[in-house]
Structure 1
């Protein structure tokens, strides 16, 4: 999960700071710290949670009713702000940290660079899909309880595609972007066909689509064995993928307005684009921003078979004064019952097995999306993605490098660089960071 309606893109300056910190941070083996026992004697009056999304109030109230502890949400406007506060707190012996922190997948590895900074969480067998537990572990020790996952889909407006004469419903749209054999190339070619006959863009921003494609790579930026970044100039798979998307951007396929941009919401209201690459957590954000605009649906067809974008974890800093009760809260917030409440509150698609199969999620019709049962749609997309849903290797510098590279696509969309110029700029910016790189 990248956040809910408060999600914004990470600024390049913040990315550079993350890269610099991660390249200098110490390693750390083994597992996390040990939580104190939660007892009536050490029960606090309140527990704090740092996050950037709306919490189901009934969930907070039920925790207080059961345990007699008030939950106070330290809310941030976006994930990048929460990341900065967490980074600063970890570098200053826990100063300013909350009892529990929400940590996004893309910056998980950076935050876990020193595992001892975090409490080891007890295993809860059978709660989550297996790969979510693996993602939330360091050296086999669980340090994060999973919240949502982000199976990838394509949201599209069937009224716009119908008006353009390219697709009139879910089935014809799936065929339009490539059907069962859909690839990113077939998706982008469909975009070229669309903009040739329509009076708006095919997609909001190809930087977002490019990020989704990156998530399908087994090791996009860093060597899984050493953890060191690959030399960008020699990273042929990223260069090829980058140029594929950049050339489509040069062809005018996209509006160049990604999620988080100040004009993103207005773009929906003005019907500036017909599709958005939409992980499950984004479906609710689209509905909020496109309120009153008819025709939006989520396709069960996705390029290259599908994958995952996003997802987060609740983790407990080892320096906290209430670590035992904080673990209890992290457990409570990630139960299957809680996952259903999150789904209704923010549209998050659960990682909890019991919640995924729950009729409360699978059978719920979404009125904004024409009565589609989005739980079934995204459940099918997650199943179709298989192991790819786990995503590729994310080292300490993944988030920062990804922001740097996707920024190159934005240059092309803005008309300030050709695809090759943008790629050369990405390589130059990467080299300026002075990494030791993998051979």
Structure 2
């Protein structure tokens, strides 16, 4: 199974206007301006920390233009990169690279002390506006956006033929069409497993995380940043019980991306659908290589949303911050975004790239010739403001792990939905947070 470098967290082209074109704000702050990159302060080498494959031509073009070699410090996954970054920030920058890739779910934690990061210059009109907002702290840009993760569903039309679903249009209707909800999606799963000899989804933890991302403020109070008391968090509990009860009903195989058996599950045709943010499409293509019938649907529960997306940021303690800013700029240009799309399947946050025919009109042989760039562009446009995701405070990622582990517990047969929720509440309380009023 090959998922480590691309599984991040870690995304209509005619509908680009619906995503809003706006300039980003500047100002002095963060770790201060990096200063000017000159021949006098030019290093022989720059390092960038990430967990995904880089287009080689992107690295080569930076070296050709500036005479600086770019070395990728590669991590097996986003969690490993997060740990190294957290430890480095706590140690006054020790062991950090010149540029770091930061995933959206742990962005707020890494930016808890804005002075740890170089404020990046404004680049007007490059990104969708909400991506710039996400990559800013107190209105000051500290991260240049890479991808976004508009949500889709990959399904195998040869498997779903058992319930009369043989193409993207009929699959969309099967899960609820334009009025699809998580409940109609899960009910479709119950119908599927009753008529088939495999599971409907790889893991409900993936779908649950997508659903959490659609909540305006799932775990923390935007005003104070403090976590909500889990025992009183009715919105999360309702979602949890919906998915946990589907797990009790055997809708999922309980094998999520990152599991050692995830790749084998595709080859063994253990499931018929996968919740698939844009960045995951290429990973599925690798793991399901040789298995026919996989397609991307154009319908999504609750109208769609976003899962994932990352930023390149420059630690303020670096010795080469002036040139590191230039590298972050280079890695997030519209031209770079198109290269990322063809290398990793990441859907761009850059407006010019989003409207590029090179993305919109590229046919994907694995997905039956579908133009998945256009499909994900349409899904992003349809999601509207939901594409930005909900509020993520410093503790979002950790709390989400606690809650998602409860779904995993039910999938494994280790608990009922009710007892799993009790476990989630208990494990949350053990963290000792001061909760919001």
Q: Report what 1:300 is aligned to.
A: 298
Q: Report what 1:35 is aligned to.
A: 34
Q: Secondary structure at the match of 1:308?
A: coil
Cα displacement (A) at 1:8: 7.7
How does 1:233-272 map onto structure 2 within 5 Å? 233-272=231-270
Q: Secondary structure at the match of 2:378?
A: helix
Check the 8 A contact 2:149/2:279 in 1, yes or no: yes
How does 1:3-152 map onto structure 2 within 5 Å? 5-7=5-7, 31-152=30-151
Q: Secondary structure at the match of 1:33?
A: coil
Cα displacement (A) at 1:168: 1.2
Q: Report what 2:183 is aligned to.
A: 185
Cα displacement (A) at 1:161: 0.2
Query: Structure 1 stretches (4+) deviating beyond 6 angstroms?
Result: none
For residues 336 and 114 of structure 2, what CA distance do their matches in structure 1 show? 27
Check the 8 A contact 1:9/1:259 in 2, yes or no: no
Cα displacement (A) at 1:32: 3.3
Q: How has the CA–CA distance of structure 1 residues 363 and 6 changed in structure 2, closer, same or farther, with 3 Å as cutoff?
A: closer
For residues 425 and 236 of structure 1, what CA distance do their matches in structure 2 show? 16
Check the 8 A contact 1:308/1:390 in 2, yes or no: yes
Cα displacement (A) at 1:34: 2.3
Check the 8 A contact 1:250/1:419 in 2, yes or no: yes
Q: Report what 1:23 is aligned to.
A: none
Check the 8 A contact 2:9/2:104 in 1, yes or no: no
Unaligned runs of 5+ in 1: 11-28
Q: Report what 1:334 is aligned to.
A: 332
Give the total of aligned pairs. 418
Check the 8 A contact 1:117/1:319 in 2, yes or no: yes
Q: Secondary structure at the match of 1:291?
A: coil
Q: How has the CA–CA distance of structure 1 residues 8 and 335 changed in structure 2, closer, same or farther, with 3 Å as cutoff?
A: closer
Q: Report what 1:325 is aligned to.
A: 323
For residues 420 and 135 of structure 1, what CA distance do their matches in structure 2 show? 35
Greater shift in the superposed pair: 340-349 or 32-41: 32-41
Q: Report what 2:193 is aligned to.
A: 195
Q: Report what 2:395 is aligned to.
A: 397
Unaligned runs of 5+ in 2: 11-27
Q: Secondary structure at the match of 1:102?
A: strand
Cα displacement (A) at 1:37: 1.6
Cα displacement (A) at 1:153: 0.1
Check the 8 A contact 2:8/2:308 in 1, yes or no: no
Check the 8 A contact 1:279/1:309 in 2, yes or no: yes
Q: How has the CA–CA distance of structure 1 residues 341 and 4 changed in structure 2, closer, same or farther, with 3 Å as cutoff?
A: farther
Matched, 1:160 2:148: no
| Aligned CA-pair RMSD | 1.3
